[in-house]
Amino acid sequence: MITQRNVDNGALVNEGSTLLFRIAQTDRLRTYVNVPQADSISIHVGQKAELKIVDLPSRTFTGTVTRTANALDPATRTLLAEVQVPNTSGLLMPGMYSEVNFSTPRKEPPLIIRADALVVRGDGPQVALVGEDGVVHFQKVQVGRDYGDQLEILGGLKMGQQIVISPGDVVRERGKVKPVLVDKSVQE
């Protein structure tokens, strides 16, 4: 399909002149995505991606990753990935902007805790751990992404450890508490 024409019928065209026509193949479109470094290891050729177009809110288009740069851009720390999308209906036009979503499990998923379990003190973020004997110990943690009511914990906490939710000023180092497990169905 001709998407741009820079000459009219009968116009004189010399050798080395400007661009005459721009041709586009519109039955399959390519979308280029800059994937952040944190997610770049999860992107691979053959992976499915969903595209949403702001102008077509009720439609979702499915594409496939056909190639990646296999290197991060040093300026942006992103991986360039190409997603090809079938366009047999012709709804998509070259040059449209889209939101691309990849469904990728993280290779090393972080622990997620409730945000109200975090205690911020002068020596950094901490959580109140409850030992098997019911004694509290404040443990420094490394916080990742903030999801509002939940936080990623990248370090300082292990799966299965009990933490105090909303410790406030009442809970102190080496204090004894009686743990009460929170029902997960109530949280959701």
Is 69's pLDDT higher than 90?
A: yes
For residues 128 and 172, what is the distance between their CA atoms, to the nearest angstrom? 9
pLDDT tens track for 81-124 = 999 999 988 888 888 899 999 987 766 777 899 999 999 988 89
Ranked by mean pLDDT, the top range of 18-27, 106-115, 149-158 is 149-158
For residues 18 and 12, what is the distance between their CA atoms, to the nearest angstrom? 12
3-state helix, strand, coil in the chain (%, to 5): 5, 45, 45
- Domain containing 129 equals 111-178
Domain count across the chain: 2
Is 184's pLDDT higher than 80?
A: no
- Residue that is last in its domain, among 36, 67, 102: 102
In-domain check, residue 17: no
**Strand intervals (E) in the chain:** 2-5, 21-23, 28-36, 48-53, 56-73, 78-86, 99-102, 111-114, 118-121, 124-130, 136-140, 142-146, 150-155, 162-163
Both 122 and 68 in one domain: the answer is no
> What pLDDT is recorded for position 186?
44
pTM for this prediction:
0.57
- Residue that is last in its domain, among 66, 85, 102: 102
Both 97 and 115 in one domain: the answer is no
Q: 10 Å Cβ neighbour count for 95?
A: 8
pLDDT band of 188, cuts 50, 70, 90:
very low
Segment 14-37 shows an average pLDDT of: 85
In-domain check, residue 188: no
Both 79 and 127 in one domain: the answer is no
Kindly report the CATH number assigned to the domain that includes residue 63: 2.40.30.170
> What pLDDT is recorded for position 185?
46
> What one-letter code names the amino acid at 83?
V
